[in-house]
Amino acid sequence: MKNSIVILFLLLLSQFGYAQGRTFKVTARPWVKGQKNLPWKEYDTRTIAQLDGFKPTGKVRVNKYGSDLDASRHRATGFFRVERIGDRWWMIDPDGYRHLQKVVVGVRLGTSERNKQAMLDKFGTEEKWIEGTARMIHSLGFSGAGSWSNEEAIASYNASHKEVLTRSIILNLMSGYGKKRGGTYQLPGNTGYPNQCIFVFDPEFETYCDEMAQKLVANKTDKNIIGYFSDNVLPFGPKNLEGYLTLKNPNDPGRLYAESWLKQQGITLQQITDEHREEFAGVVAERYYKVVSEAIRKYDPNHLYLGSRLHGKPKFVRQIVEAAGRYCDVVAINYYGAWTPNEKTMKHWGEWAQKPFIITEFYTKGMDSGLANTTGAGFTVQTQQERGYAYQHFVLGLLESGNCVGWRGRAMEKTAAEHGWGD
């Protein structure tokens, strides 16, 4: 019943808005990239219990995708899509019902010997593991699995169960091409490139995307797939222009393109302004999203293209977000460093992209987890209960925006690992 109340509230909230209500204080350690051991601070926090006028009203009827069966029904296409209805964007499920994506990132088994043994001890088989994990995910109000999940196990589970786990697939098109081309290197959580310049101007990149996208034909009829992420956290940004201009190889296609672009602007290296830098960052993003979206849609036009998970500064550069909006169905954004989602920022994403957004990463760590909590982004709190408060507070802020169609939290990824459910 508790889970039904939460789902009901989220559905009503997203449709009608809500009063601010009361707040209480949660003590948390903020996260800022490159800074460690920041002081603990108190943050104003809202949960369902603090909202004015909210009264739980019975159990919610949901379908196998976790969509509200009592809300208005819309055009059913047999696949997930997005539609703006009134002042709010919605994801529409294959049956035509309004849907908010609430999924767990990284539903997969650990690879260490300790994790393998823990899986055998708890579940016995991989089939029983995914069944137990799916029950746990659904019981907590989530509807599916995010990227870096065990796709084969989930697809097999969906084929034999009425209640399914939706999923989205990450293709790693640029990082895959980079490894084939050479010159990339591993960074924490993503791939590094020379001068942090992706190989988007290489003629061979387009050919590579087409070859990789041919594999997507096998997914064309799968109703449980939300869509595709083409890559994770690409280094779009204001440093791109000088980065391409200073590549070591004078014949690198990226350097040649940047030199030509600079000449077209009628300026020298010394005359580059921040406006030029942001404009060129938009050019890089435009080229990338055009190439990958055309390849994906050529072989699988049925599923959503979700972008490349904008992270850090790129999500605040208008030209980059605009480029994503021209080719993506939903703009994916990793949102760290904010206890409360910024209303003005979320408004800008909607205005710039003219598309909805989905939050693909955020989470809060708990000091009582038994983990060191010395790495990774996200706020840190003392207890699992406060993690729950932080989660509620953050998603309430997301739902205030009419442009958000869901989120993919990393909080549950940590919890699953701690309990031996996944990694």
Residue 218 pLDDT > 50: yes
Taking the complete model, does pTM exceed 0.85, yes or no? yes
pLDDT at 18 over 90: no
pLDDT band at 9 (very low <50, low <70, confident <90, very high): low
Confidence at 55, pLDDT banded by 50, 70, 90: confident
Distance (Å, rounded) from C-alpha 297 to C-alpha 91?
19
More confident call, 9 vs 273: 273
Taking the C-alpha atoms of residue 189 and residue 67, their distance in angstroms, rounded to an integer, is 32
Query: Is residue 281's pLDDT more than 90?
Result: yes
pLDDT given at position 149: 94
- All domains of the chain in start order, with CATH: 2-418 (3.20.20.80)
77-117 confidence digits (pLDDT tens): 999 999 999 999 999 999 999 999 999 988 999 999 999 99
> Of the ranges 26-30, 163-167, 236-240, 419-423, which one carries the lowest mean pLDDT score?
419-423
pLDDT at residue 160 tops 60:
yes
Q: Which of 267, 340, 356 is nearest to 83 (CA)?
A: 356
pLDDT at 13: 54
The mean pLDDT of the chain is 90
DSSP, res 408: E
pLDDT given at position 410 = 61
CA 227-158-413 angle, to 5 degrees, is 65
Q: What is the pLDDT of residue 74?
A: 97
Indicate the pLDDT class of residue 419, thresholds 50, 70 and 90.
very low
Average pLDDT over residues 57-78: 90
Whether residue 16 is predicted with pLDDT greater than 80 in this model: the reply is: no
Is the per-residue pLDDT at 219 higher than 80? yes
For the stretch 164-176, pLDDT in tens is 999 999 999 999 9
Residue 220 has pLDDT above 70, yes or no: yes
Residues 6+ apart with CB under 8 A from 317: 236, 237, 238, 278, 281, 282
pLDDT of 15 higher than 90:
no
Rounded to whole angstroms, how far apart are CA atoms 378 and 288?
28
* CA distance linking residue 393 with residue 388, whole number of Å: 9
Residues 73 and 97: their CA atoms lie apart, in Å, by: 5
At residue 45, the pLDDT reads 96
In single-letter form, the type of residue at position 373 comes to N
